[in-house]
Structure 1
Amino acid sequence: MLRVHDSPESNESALLALLNLAVKDETNKIKIVEAGALEPIIGFLKSQNSNLQEYATASLLTLSASPINKPVISAYGAIPLLVEILRYGSSQAKVEALKALSNLSTYTDNVSIILATKPIPPIVDLLKTCKKSSKTAEKCCALIESLMEFDEGRTALTSEEGGVLAVVEVLENGSVHSREYAVGALLTMCESDRCKYREPILKEGVIPGLLELTVQGTPKSQTKAQTLLRLLRDSPYPRSELQPDTVENIVCNIISQIDGDEQSGKAKKMLAEMVQVSMEQSLRHLQQRALVCTPSDLSINSCASEVSLK
């Protein structure tokens, strides 16, 4: 059905047929790979025909969603070709290639293979230009977070102009999952070498976004944001009992070191808003507890009070 030497039109039709069979069908994804379709599909990644290249990339994206297929696709040499498309392909092909790489990166052994292709520059380029709340940004940050486990990946991100800033922008304006990946990437960097990465992260104005995450993020994002805030302050060690290790104190410490009135002012405003939200949440919690208290509870408590007074 798929033949490299057939006309582009017939191969495009064949790829579309395979896509229709594979979408939302795990069994078909596996059977298509077992039937030997990978070799011609990967061959089409090298095609000069942009449509054929896009269809082949989309096919790999769909097939790579299957956990069983991930190591097989990598073994066929697809990863370097996908990164090449991420660099030089059409706009649509770049997005499909990114998503396929993100799928493949969830198989641990594939991450080092992806890293060897030096993918950070094209990932950052795509992240800079896409909408920060988009699925594309989410996949970019998911892939970046995986690559931050390696020193080469961390160095590449900080060396790429606007690389850390692009991640910070997603942390501020991304979707729920995107923000979680973004804060995870920055936290991994700082945990690996605080002295090396603290300043590059701080100078991109990360504090307001982290403050917001500590209040409005998912439980996982909140924990990561609080941990990162502790690492970003002047001293990573807990304070004494006289200076509690609260988020407010941590941030005040960081704000005092931020250069530039605009960044410092924005961070202070966010801190004030965070404290206000925290107070409102505490008040709502108290009100809810009061509503739960039944008349019998009140009478018992009242009796107990009277007994204690006697």
Structure 2
Amino acid sequence: EEDKRKESIIAYLLHLMRKYSKLFRSEFSDDNDSQGSQPCSPTVQRPLEDGVPAGHCQAFDRQMSKLSSFNFKPNNKKSGQMPLPPEELRCPISLQLMSDPVIIASGQTYEKACIEKWFNDGHNTCPKTQQKLTHLSLTPNYCVKGLVASWCEQNGIPIPEGPPESLDFNYWRLALSDSESTNSRSVNSVNSCKMKGVKVVPLEENVILEKTEGNVTETLSTQEEEDSEQYLSFLKVLTEGNNWKKKCKVVERLRLLLRDDEEARIFMGANGFVEALFQFLQSAVREGHVKARENGAMALFNLAVNNNRNKELMISAGILSLLEEMVMISSTSSYSCATALYLNLSCLEEAKPVIGASQAVKFLIQMLQPKTEVQCKMDALHALYNISTVSSNVSNLISSGIINGLQSLLVGQTDCMWSEKSIAVLVNLAVSQVGRDEMILNPEVITTLASILDTGESLEQEQAVSCLLILCNRSEKCCEMVLQEGAIPALVSISVNGTSRGREKAQKLLMLFREQRQRDNSPAKTQYCSPEAGDLSMPSPEAKPLRIPGDGRCMFRSVVYGACLRTGDPPPSLTRQKELADELRAKVVDEFIKRRADTEWFLEGDFNTYTVQMRKSQAWGGEPELLMSSHVLQMPITVIMHDTNSNNLKIIAEYGQEYGKEKPIRVIYDGFGHYDVFKCST
């Protein structure tokens, strides 16, 4: 009796879902094309962690397949109506557009604030799937965030700036569902839920069950039979009929029908539609029917969305060979459709090595050219990202010219979206020795990555420093190339102001450079010279560095030591250095406060927090402190750094020029936060 009751409830819910989902679809559908007809690809996942693939790769592939089933055409809506966002862009908890989407262990994406509340309330399951999670870590989903921004822009809607103020009913519905699942998985277990402030309303059996028990199952069964008969009639036209026009109309209808009907995909995949559509596309390609070719390819695309079994059937049928034949036809529509199918199929793990070993790689790289239509280029880039996750594909990618293709995107696009995705592919390539060697042989790539460190957005900088860290970890030559690009100041800035992951990577890269510099640093390799108009290129036997202890005071120690040299006082001992350095530090902070109106704008973070922190003896000094030191001492200070290009010393900064230019205090910056004194008689 209990099972029958549950079955009736589920049958009724299924009936409502089918009924109203069709209404929702019709509100934002397009008469001319399906939302799945022109795939739009999400932003690539975060790059590898020091050469180790990041988590959620499988979740990314699943999302790639799912998200690729719709595009961002402005919705045709009646006046006064708000366009309905695609389900994939709405948080399953708040049902609103996501401002900060994150991925959890189940592979589902949620608004960060909503899922954090879910976890904080004691749940350890996925709200949508009820799956128990192996961990509660959150990974930012930049792909969905980018898609939300694109959808909002194209529909004239402001991009959400923050999470919803209230979770309202849907949160409690999910929490109730989770509680039911955890307890007895029955309707009667609702009363056992231990949720604060939640009023549980029991099902009204007389209202629902009596109305539905007798006819819902019969209605659903009838609808399913009608759908199945219609689908089989389509199949009969494709396999038995000889009327080409009729076949074309059927395929066009299937293209629209399959765009968002997952049950139809499952049924058709199990009943021979893959082979039938493949045969249709093959005929269209060989007969030169452009419209039929496009409809056939996109019908197959929609059939494969979120359905790995159908993808496998297509691979077995020979879709890759047919696509190679298709792209031989000089047609933009053929290129777009083929690229979309390659993207969809590349989400299948088993297909990645097959595609990666085929001629598809050269075609997809060609699609990165500037003249290619934007959506096609985007799909090609995402397909290449998927393929590059398999190490055995790297050699073919390299020999096909992917480095040059990605380089053209990095320098030829102003939208940071392109550089983010391109660098993600470079990261995958950098894990392989072949990829690293090729990237080092193309100094333009290193130059571009170094420039992104300086001028890119936060996420671009994070990805660029991750890529450079992988390269430099395995190549001293690459370290030298990055240093020659003058990347140290940008890395120092990222290590302080970047994203949390960017700061971590920048610090690791700076440490790597410091270790290499210490290995290479010897008197025979460096010419210490007297300053000449910013280029210290003339050797002087009196010029030599004086090593200063690295105890957090090195900048202040160097300045006070240089001040003693300038005034002719005896060189201070280590103990005296420490005393003078601490005195100078205190006066520098006081000078900051005195000049607050002039200095607050260039200090990092909150002024009061900065000055309190700088009073601590272990806080490192930098450019702001050198400037204030020149005012405190009323002496000019010159900062010198070794130039790896010329193997000479260069003046990189001068402070306190208003106090005279004769005999400045000279300090040497090693590029990694440490200062020494430069002694040179004048």
- Match of residue 495, structure 2, among 201, 214, 227: 214
The answer as to 2:482 corresponding to 1:201 is yes
Q: Which amino acid aligns with 1:82?
A: L
- 1:45 alignment partner AA: V
Residue 163 of structure 1 pairs with residue 445 of structure 2: yes
Residues 1:89 and 1:67: Cα distance change in structure 2 (over 3 Å): farther
Paired residues for 1:176-187 under 5 Å: 178-187=460-469
- The runs of 4+ residues in structure 1 deviating greater than 6 Å are 249-252, 259-265
Residue 105 in structure 1 maps to residue 412 in structure 2 = no
Amino acid at match of 1:99: H
Give the letter aligned to residue 2 of structure 1.
L
| Bigger mean CA offset, 199-208 vs 45-54 | 199-208
The question of 1:2 aligning with 2:290 is answered no
Instruction: Map 1:139-288 to 2 at 5 A.
Output: 139-150=421-432, 152-160=434-442, 162-174=444-456, 178-194=460-476, 196-233=477-514, 234-235=517-518, 242-244=549-551, 256-257=641-642
Comparing 8-17 with 204-213, which one deviates more in the overlay?
Answer: 204-213
- Code of the residue aligned with 2:550 in structure 1: it is Q
Q: 1:226 to 1:76 in 2, by over 3 A?
A: same
Show the counterpart of 1:45: 327
Deviation at 1:263, TM superposition (A): 9.4
Query: 1:75 Cα shift?
Result: 4.1
Shift of 1:99: 1.9
Code of the residue aligned with 2:343 in structure 1: it is L
TM-superposed CA distance for 1:90, in Å, is: 1.6
The answer to whether the 8 Å contact 1:133/1:170 transfers is no
Cα pair 2:429 2:435 within 8 Å, conserved: yes
Alpha carbons 1:133, 1:174 under 8 Å: kept: yes
* CA deviation map 1:85-107 (0-9, x unaligned): 33586243443322211111112
Q: Does 1:124 align with 2:407?
A: yes
Separation in structure 1 between the aligned mates of residue 619 and residue 487 of structure 2, nearest angstrom: 15
Q: How far apart, in 2, do the equivalents of 1:96 and 1:201 lie? A: 31
Residue identity opposite 2:401 in structure 1 = K
The TM-score normalised by the length of structure 1 is: 0.69
SS in 2 for 1:86: coil
Aligned to 1:308: none
Query: Larger Rg: 1 or 2?
Result: 2
- In structure 2, the CA distance between the partners of 1:129 and 1:11, relative to structure 1 (3 Å rule), is same
**Equivalent residues in 2 for 1:15-26 (5 A)?**
15-26=297-308
Aligned equivalent of 2:367:
85
Contact 1:138–1:177, Cα closer than 8 Å, also in 2: yes
Shift of 1:12: 1.0
Inter-CA distance 175–31: structure 2 relative to 1 (3 Å threshold) = farther
Residue 378 of structure 2 corresponds to 95
Residues 210-261 of structure 1 show CA distances to partners (whole Å, capped at 9, x for unaligned) of 2343234454433321121122233269xx9942599969999x98335877
From the superposition, tell whether residues 205 and 23 of structure 1 become closer, same or farther in structure 2 (CA, over 3 Å). Answer: farther
Q: Name the CA shift for 1:31/1:179 in 2 (closer, same or farther; >3 Å).
A: farther
> Who is 1:133 aligned against?
416
TM-superposed CA distance for 1:124, in Å, is 0.3
Instruction: Report if aligned partners of 2:641, 2:651 keep a CA contact under 8 Å in 1.
Output: no
Higher helix share: 1
C-alpha separation between the residues in 2 aligned to 1:45 and 1:98?
17
Indicate how the Cα distance of structure 1 residues 250 and 189 shifts in structure 2: closer, same or farther if over 3 A, else same: farther
Larger CA deviation: 145-154 vs 123-132 = 145-154
Q: Report the Cα offset of residue 127 of structure 1.
A: 1.1
Q: How many residues align?
A: 264
Q: Please list the CA deviations of residues 197-221 of structure 1 after superposition, one character each: whole Å capped at 9, or x if unmatched.
A: 2232123342343234323445443
Determine the C-alpha separation between the residues in 1 that align with 2:640 and 2:475: 21
- Residue identity over aligned pairs, in percent, reads 29
Q: Distance in 2 between matches of 1:131 and 1:88?
A: 12
Structure 1 residue 27: deviation in Å? 4.3
Find the counterpart in structure 2 of residue 283 from structure 1: none
C-alpha contact 1:132 1:173 (8 A) present in aligned 2: no
CA contact (8 A) 2:423 2:464 kept: yes
- Superposed CA RMSD: 3.9
How many Å separate the matches in 1 of 2:295 and 2:518? 61
Deviation at 1:144, TM superposition (A): 1.2
Alpha-carbon spacing, 1:118–1:248, altered in 2? closer, same or farther (3 Å)? farther
More strand per residue: 2
CA-CA distance at 1:26 after TM superposition: 4.1
**Partners of 1:57 and 1:96 within 8 A in 2:** yes
In the other structure, the counterpart of 1:32 is 314
SS of the residue 1:10 aligns to: helix
TM-score, with structure 2 as normaliser: 0.34
Q: Deviations over 1:24-81 (max 9, x none)?
A: 4444434433443222123223321122112201211122122232123234442233
Quick one: structure 1 residues 156 and 75, their matched pair in 2 at CA, closer, same or farther if it must change by over 3 Å? closer
Unaligned runs of 5+ in 2: 1-279, 521-546, 553-617, 627-638, 644-648, 656-668, 674-682
Write the deviation string for residues 248-285 of structure 1: whole angstroms up to 9, x where unpaired. Answer: 69999x983358777999xx9xx99xxxxxxxxxxxxx
Question: 1:250 and 1:158 mapped to 2: Cα distance?
Answer: 32
Structure 1 residues 164-214: Cα deviation after superposition (integer angstroms, max 9, x where no partner): 2222243445566543332122112222222x1223212334234323432
